[in-house]
Structure 1
């Protein structure tokens, strides 16, 4: 058997810590090496135990999970899976945690009789253990040199798909773009409860307007539309001019909203489309961007060195969907160049 993933469980509730331990230690690939009831205890145990992954509660007394996460990422970057409540405050904190470098943030499940609510957490921890968190530190301080001036748009619009690590990557890309950027549609794998807060956060950090997409929206210059998730995929209808539709349909490629569903809907106007696959686990988007590429779209993927998880970009490349693999810092300029009149 290969080496076990060593996990530190951080939660102020002894009941929660016990449930997490019991739930994840059923997996023979995982070992809980310690528990901490506070940020101070967690700091000491990170130093002494050097865990591969942390589970970290957002809502803790004293130094909360967000403050500890920020300090951890500066001092000793370690993969972290945050646990958030289902409240509005919990959702806002979850998005902040992902922006600060948490690999994943999951909702605390309701306790139920006869079933451990954390029995599915092990797969998330195993994925997190492979994340390249070290590459995320310092990214927000990178130089953003794209000028904020009027660009002559060539009529193309942009479709971006992302999953694990996508929050920080999307924040970076949109913060680089001018207020009159080309029309952009984004599908980010995230619970519906988090996407409302994510759209608000992106809108505050970006010069373009960012909002959750609604059926009937038309892609337009200076506006970024984010898939609202929940029961819906974000797609474009094949009309005289592209128009957004929220499609109530089953999961595709394991997800809803699905990157594949979004990109495949643009097949008939692929020549007007720029497709981008960012960091993420799995294969969602690989088929969609392959179809776009084969029908004349400009297609890009984030490179391995700058990806938190090089799953989705790798699959997009291996399926023949992209020829241009770029570090994250070069993607904003590539988007603007592909959408500019010459």
Structure 2
């Protein structure tokens, strides 16, 4: 088996060596080079041609984000950003990074061990399969207002995504107007980052976006993002409204929050009054839940392979027969509005 060639870009010598030593323990990974700043990284890319690069955001001589913006047009490659709790990570994802991992607390030995032995290696193995040279597709049919249907309290839209999902979710939500039914979203993301993600989306979108908390009512023109961490998000029916509950639980399909958990609750509670959307991501989380939604009468949409960073979750859902409409990313909002006009 050919090993994944990795370039580690990190200015801290101690942390850099920690990454190198532990990544090389994985039989599927080989660190071929390291760099302490973007200029060293550029030379290493030309010399060693790595399959994946890990990149710290805070670097000397040039920030990791600026480096990404200069790098990706010339040398498109899968990049995993390693970041402390900062919304700069979303700038990095917007500049072309495939995914990110939260930098562990150095004093927390258990967190360090989890990070170097599982979390980062797993991300690298996913990243090497990512499509980083995605063609930008234009929305060929503009969306049309939903008029009265979308504001019915019994309609709901549920969205799930993983790798590449931050940009995909933003692309969909930015096309939604305030006439859209309430939206609930699970994006695989560490604790702390989901609140920042929601805040950035709220600034970019016409709809209101916030991190969800138990008791939040699902309202038209509002998006609730499941909080990252150790809680799953579900919807429940309270009188004539939907509300979310966020409760602690074990990982499902390796994730918490899990898309399946959300979709299964929507299938049970909203049934035919829902639309399920599954976007880019590795693995199969959400596929079974989307099938349950479809079987309960909901309409379902899956992102197509050509516009996915990783065609994993939508592929599994499609193969299960859970996807009614397969769409390129820029057309998902249009399709959603088209469905809503007939609901």
Q: TM-score, normalised by structure 2?
A: 0.91
1:110 — aligned with what?
105
Q: Distance in 2 between matches of 1:166 and 1:191?
A: 13
1:327 — aligned with what?
328
Q: How many residues align?
A: 334
1:293: Cα distance to partner? 0.4
1:271 — aligned with what?
272
Give SS of 2:41's match.
helix
Deviation readout 1:132-187 (Å, 9 max, x if unpaired):
0111x756xx4586468573225322100000000010111111222322221111
Q: How does 1:200-239 map to 2 (within 5 A)?
A: 200-239=199-238
Q: Distance in 2 between matches of 1:148 and 1:316?
A: 28
1:246 — aligned with what?
246
Give SS of 2:123's match.
helix
Q: Distance in 2 between matches of 1:309 and 1:269?
A: 29
Give SS of 2:291's match.
helix
Q: How does 1:160-171 map to 2 (within 5 A)?
A: 160-171=159-170
Q: Distance in 2 between matches of 1:38 and 1:239?
A: 54
2:94 aligned residue (87, 99, 106): 99
Q: Distance in 1 between matches of 2:127 and 2:148?
A: 42
Q: Distance in 1 between matches of 2:173 and 2:251?
A: 27
2:303 — aligned with what?
302
In structure 2, relative to structure 1, the CA distance for the partners of 1:144 and 1:174 (3 Å cut) is farther
Q: Report the more deviating stretch, 184-193 or 110-119.
A: 110-119
1:93: Cα distance to partner? 1.3
1:9: Cα distance to partner? 0.8
Give SS of 2:54's match.
strand
Alpha carbon RMSD of aligned pairs, Å? 2.1
Q: How does 1:1-342 map to 2 (within 5 A)?
A: 2-86=1-85, 91-111=86-106, 118-120=116-118, 121-135=120-134, 138=136, 142=138, 146=142, 151-154=147-150, 155=152, 156-241=155-240, 242-266=242-266, 267-340=268-341
CA contact (8 A) 2:68 2:97 kept: yes
Deviation readout 1:278-331 (Å, 9 max, x if unpaired):
000111111111111001000011111111111111111222211321111110
CA contact (8 A) 1:264 1:288 kept: yes
CA contact (8 A) 2:140 2:331 kept: no
Give SS of 1:265's match.
helix
Q: TM-score, normalised by structure 1?
A: 0.91
Q: Distance in 1 between matches of 2:148 and 2:95?
A: 35
Give SS of 2:201's match.
helix
Q: Report the more deviating stretch, 317-326 or 72-81.
A: 317-326
Deviation readout 1:191-219 (Å, 9 max, x if unpaired):
11111110011111111111111222222
In structure 2, relative to structure 1, the CA distance for the partners of 1:287 and 1:75 (3 Å cut) is same
Q: Following TM superposition, where does structure 1 have runs of at least 4 consecutive aligned residues deviating by more than 6 angstroms?
A: none
Give SS of 2:173's match.
helix
Q: Distance in 2 between matches of 1:221 and 1:213?
A: 15
Q: Distance in 2 between matches of 1:134 and 1:339?
A: 32
